[in-house]
Every structure is written in C-alpha cells, then in structure tokens.
C-alpha cells in the first residue's frame, strides 16, 4: 500500500475546524462585498459576526478549501435571512383577499398595484384596485391609468370633491369588492418623501379599517443606508406581513434586501424590476444572495459542497480496496450501489487505470445485478470474505440455492477475482485523484 495513498486517506478522515486566519481573510472580503452592495453598516457588522462564529465552529468540509467553505456559510446565512424559501402570497379563506400597500412616496406602490393586479388576473383572480392615496392630486388618476393597462376595475372616489377620507374610501371599497365578487382587493396608499407621523397614522388606520390579509411594504432598492430606519419606522407605525423590493433593475446590488429582512424579520415576497407592468417577479432568496455577494460561481461552490457526501462514501470504498480487504460482500455492495447513485463509477473515476472496468460496469444491466445478488446471498459469510473456500461442492450448493447454474457461479467468482486483482494493482501503485480536493 503506497504511503501517499494512506496519507491522503488519513487526511480525508481527519476532522478539524477552520483556523481564525483561514476565516478572517474571507470574512474581510465578505464585509467589503456587503458594504459595496449597500447593506446597512449595523447589519453588516452583525452578519459578519454570525458568519465568523459559525465558520470557526463548523467541521471542515472535505470538498472545499477554507475560503470556499466560509463563502458557503455566508451564502447559507444570507439565504436564511432573506427568508430561506420563496414566500407566496397568503389568500383569505373567504374572499376577498385584501392586500394593502405601504411605503414612502416614489417607492413604487402605485406601479406595483398595477403589476400585482395584472399578475393576479393572469392567474385567474379577479382583482380590484383601490385608490386610497388622496394626498397627491394626480395619484388617483395614476392608479386609473395603471388599472386600465392591467385591465382591472379601479375603485376611486369621485374626482373634484376636495380632500376625501382615505380610510373611508378603503373601507367602502372592500365592501364594494365583496358585493361585486372580486376575489382580491389591492389598496394603494399615500406616501411622503420621508418618514412622517401623520402618514403612518393614516396607513395604520387604513389597516385597522380593512383588516388586510397582507400588508406589503414597498421599498426602493436604491435607498441604500436609509433602508434600516425606513423599514423600522414602517414596522413600528403600520407593521407589514411582507416586503416588495422595487427598482431592482437599477444599479442597486440589492443590499437593501438584506438590511430590511435582517432588521424586520419579514419575508421579501416580490421584486419589481422596471416601469412596465410585466417587470415583476416573485422574490428568490437564493438568487438575491448571489447578487449581493456578486460571486458568479457561488452556485458551483454550493453544488460541490453537496457532492461532498457522495465522495466520502466513494472514498471509503476506495480505502478498503487500497487496504486489500476487498470481499465478495463489497463486490455485492458495489453492484447494488450501481443501481442508484453510481457511486462505484465515481470511485472508479478516482482511481487511474480503471477505464476498462468502468466500461464493463456501464454495460452491466439490471438483470445481471439481480443474479449477482442471488448468488452472493447464497454464500456463507466465510465464503464471502474468503472466496478461496469455494470448491466444487460449495459452488453446486450455491447454484442450487440461488436458482442459477454452476457456470453462472464460476463466472461470477472469476469476475470478482479479476476485479479484486485489478483494484489491488491500482491500490499498490496508483495515486488517487479525489475531485474537489485540489485548489479550484
């Protein structure tokens, strides 16, 4: 058995932790990337702290180098904060489902109302838009235009009646939607340029009066460092069930997503990506994580980490071969694995000079595996570990027990011996190449 091979396997088996210096360099890079993506500073601090602690506590992954491992942790944490899985809209058990929009002026609420209506309509719903922004003279008209584009009903107060009461409008609208059998109601509300006590009170009152199933906080992704204060103010003043990130089509790397999700703990449900009504999509935490980190190859890294487990399994088999304890039981186990994961082929790929054997395995069909199983299972444990015991009378017994012929048994034993010989040769002289071990 070659020393190098033994050493490789020993290292493979050694469990350990990442060192502080392994971790710190990568964490510094991550910190820089997050700040560049305009994640709010307090969020960056807390986030990098969490990642550092976790990285130092984690077992070393065999398939990744330290930097890759830290990046993987970062990605997992990011996706987690961003809501993990995609969160869908909640619909009411008894229609109509009421969806209220809140956010600063210019955040993209009115545009979103149109996008949401169009999206819902396409999905077979019958949405109604409600103009409860009576603050700006043009706001009602803007919603009417959007509603027309989306092809949906817009509920609006009569124009020219002076300043109306948005709470009453919203409440009447829900009643009207129920009568007219709209299954969804989207309430557009007023926003100010900055956080404003009066505005918060109005939005809170609309919420109270209409008891929405969803309150969506719409925030401009370009808002940068202000995201934290704004989101907190809306959470305290109105509270919301979900977030919509708008203007993601711009330069913003989406740091606001992390800031808002992190300080409010609320899921991001949609992303708005343009001025058109179709520029809109359900939010994907994993994609946003990649965008924030700006690491094109992050998905590849994650995939490699997921493969680590398979490689461990394959490495165990390789180790056994290398230590020359390959038995008929192992042979059978490999045959059985062939069916599913293809671990044996993977293992073959790790050992140089195994090409012909691999080809043979490719040619293996399911029936042959079943026959092999039957024959080996008819052997005693002693026969399986020591095939030299298999004399003529034993072979006859095995053939009978498995319902096969003596020739079949002979062929199997022969094939096993060939395989064992081949593997031992490789194990003595070969250098294993374990994918994922080298630097990438």
Q: Which residues are annotated as a binding site for GTP?
A: 103-110, 188-192, 246-249
| Known binding-site residue numbers | 103-110, 188-192, 246-249
Q: Which is nearer to Mg ion, 44 or 101 (CB)?
A: 101
- Pairing type for strands 242-246 and 268-272 reads parallel
SS (H, E, C) 371-434: HHHHHHHCCCHHHHHCHHHCCHHHHHHHHHHHCCCHHHHHHHHHHHHHHHHHHHHHHHHCCCCC
User: Which residues ranging from 95 to 114 are in contact with Mg ion (CB under 5 A)?
Assistant: 109-110
Per rule CB under 5 A, is residue 246 in the interface with Mg ion? no
Q: Which is nearer to Mg ion, 148 or 417 (CB)?
A: 148
How far apart CA 140 and CA 131 sit, in angstroms, is: 6
Out of 90, 148, 236, 275, point to the residue binding ligand GDP (CB under 6 A).
Answer: 275
Out of 2, 29, 66, 106, point to the residue binding ligand GDP (CB under 6 A).
Answer: 106
What is the biggest distance separating any 2 CA atoms in the chain, rounded to whole angstroms? Answer: 106
Per rule CB under 5 A, is residue 304 in the interface with Mg ion? no
Tell me, what DSSP letter sits at residue 17? B
Helix%, strand%, coil% for the chain, nearest 5: 60, 10, 30
Q: Which is nearer to ligand GDP, 183 or 279 (CB)?
A: 279
Q: Among ligand GDP, Mg ion, none, what does residue 106 contact (CB within 5–8 Å per kind)?
A: ligand GDP
Tell me, what DSSP letter sits at residue 119? H
Alpha helices in 160-196 (DSSP H): 166-179
Choices 22-30, 47-55, 62-70, 106-114 (CB under 6 A): range interacting with ligand GDP: 106-114
Per rule CB under 6 A, is residue 274 in the interface with ligand GDP? yes
User: Which residues ranging from 190 to 249 are in contact with ligand GDP (CB under 6 A)?
Assistant: 191, 246-247, 249
Q: Find out whether 62 and 437 touch, Cβ atoms under 8 Å.
A: yes
Q: Which is nearer to ligand GDP, 117 or 419 (CB)?
A: 117
How far apart CA 132 and CA 168 sit, in angstroms, is: 9
Least distance from ligand GDP to the Cβ atom of residue 88, Å = 20
**Residues within the interface to ligand GDP (CB under 6 A):** 103, 105-111, 191, 246-247, 249-250, 272-275, 279
């Amino acid at each position: 058995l070659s020393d190098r091979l033994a050493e490789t396997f020993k290292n493979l088996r050694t469990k350990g932790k990442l060192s502080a210096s392994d971790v710190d360099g990568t964490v510094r890079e991550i910190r820089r990337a997050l700040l560049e993506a305009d994640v709010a500073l307090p969020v960056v601090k807390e986030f990098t702290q969490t990642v550092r602690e976790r990285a130092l506590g984690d077992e070393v992954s065999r398939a990744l180098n330290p930097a890759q491992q830290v990046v993987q942790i970062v990605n997992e944490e990011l996706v987690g904060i961003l809501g993990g899985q995609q969160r869908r809209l909640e619909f009411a058990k008894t229609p109509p489902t009421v969806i209220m929009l809140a956010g600063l002026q210019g955040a993209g609420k009115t545009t979103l109302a149109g996008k949401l209506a169009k999206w819902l309509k396409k999905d077979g719903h019958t949405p109604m838009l409600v103009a409860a922004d009576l603050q700006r003279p043009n706001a009602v008209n803007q919603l009417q235009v959007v509603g027309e584009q989306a092809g949906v009903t817009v509920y609006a107060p009569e124009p020219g009646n002076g300043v109306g009461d948005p709470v009453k409008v919203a409440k009447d609208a829900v009643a009207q939607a129920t009568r007219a059998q709209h299954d969804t109601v989207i309430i557009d509300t007023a926003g100010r340029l900055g956080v404003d006590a009066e505005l918060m009170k109005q939005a809170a009152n609309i919420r109270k009066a209409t008891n929405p199933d969803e309150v969506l906080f719409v925030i401009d992704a370009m808002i940068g460092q202000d995201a934290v204060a704004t989101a907190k103010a809306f959470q305290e003043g109105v509270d919301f069930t979900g977030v919509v990130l708008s203007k993601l089509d711009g330069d913003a790397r989406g740091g606001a997503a992390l800031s808002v999700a992190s300080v409010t703990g609320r899921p991001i449900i949609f992303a708005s990506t343009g001025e058109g009504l179709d520029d809109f999509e359900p939010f994907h935490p994993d994609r946003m994580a990649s965008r924030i980190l700006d690491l094109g190859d992050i998905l590849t890294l994650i995939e490699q980490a997921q493969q680590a487990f398979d490689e461990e399994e394959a490495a165990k088999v390789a180790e056994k071969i290398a230590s020359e304890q390959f038995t008929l039981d192992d042979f059978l186990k490999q045959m059985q694995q062939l069916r599913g994961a293809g671990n044996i082929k993977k293992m073959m790929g790790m050992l140089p000079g195994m090409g012909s054997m691999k080809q043979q395995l490719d040619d293996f069909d399911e029936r042959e595996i079943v026959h092999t199983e039957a024959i080996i299972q008819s052997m005693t444990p002693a026969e399986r570990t020591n095939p030299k015991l298999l004399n003529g009378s034993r072979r006859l017994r095995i053939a009978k027990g498995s319902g096969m012929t003596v020739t079949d048994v002979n062929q199997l034993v022969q094939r096993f011996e060939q395989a064992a010989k081949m593997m031992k040769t490789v194990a003595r002289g070969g250098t294993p190449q374990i994918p994922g071990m080298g630097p990438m």
